[in-house]
Amino acid sequence: MNDAAESPAASKPPVSTGRPPELLALPGGVLLRRRRAADAAALNAAVRSNLDHLRPWMPWAQAEPSMAQSIETAKAGEQVWDEGTDFMYVLSPEAEPTVVIGAFGLHGRIGPGALEIGYWVARDHGGRGFATEAARALTAAALALPGIDRVEIHCDEGNAPSAAVPRKLGYRLDRIDDSAVTAPSETGRKMVWITPA
């Protein structure tokens, strides 16, 4: 898990003239689907029930979100998708598509021609490969967009489960940058993983 999944970018130019698929079926009976305002309650419940799991690595998980905050976050996710700057998804079981068990995003905050994948998966659904399969699908979707030629995953050096995802996908560790500590378990060293050439 890394901190990118909950924070849509401020208003900026679109990252591409295209848009990724709004629905991606993944192995294991789960779906990545475009996050909508209607997902606010399910997203709120998922975050609240996973705060202890998320708090060590996610700056936005230091306090329980109110329903109003979750509604605002969900609406912002719809807006940035429409603007083409970020593409926010929820992870849901195929059998229960209104339940949220994780959140993912393609974020346009790392410069032209590139998108950053952010993610988290609920504690009870971790260790099943969902983050890896979702990141695999999002990598392919991002690279299929006009003008996108690079995908990155950023995570703290101490966050071994998060770093396992790009490693399994064949991403290359490009560098480790000094970074401000924004969550309790962070080391202040950010790993920057880049899609393989």
Tokens for 78?
A: 């719809």
Q: What is the pLDDT of residue 1?
A: 61
Question: What is the spatial distance between Cα 78 and Cα 57, in angstroms, rounded to a whole number?
Answer: 25
Determine how β-strand 189-194 pairs with β-strand 114-121: unpaired
pLDDT, average across residues 181-189? 95
pLDDT, average across residues 62-81? 94
Q: What is the pLDDT of residue 67?
A: 96
pLDDT over 90 percentage in the chain: 88
| pLDDT tens profile 77-125 | 999 999 999 999 999 999 999 999 999 999 999 999 999 999 999 999 9
Q: What is the mean pLDDT of the chain?
A: 93
Q: What is the pLDDT of residue 11?
A: 64
Domains of the chain: 3-151 (3.40.630.30)
| pLDDT tens profile 32-59 | 999 999 999 999 999 999 999 999 999 9
pLDDT over 70 percentage in the chain: 94
Question: What is the spatial distance between Cα 138 and Cα 21, in angstroms, rounded to a whole number?
Answer: 9
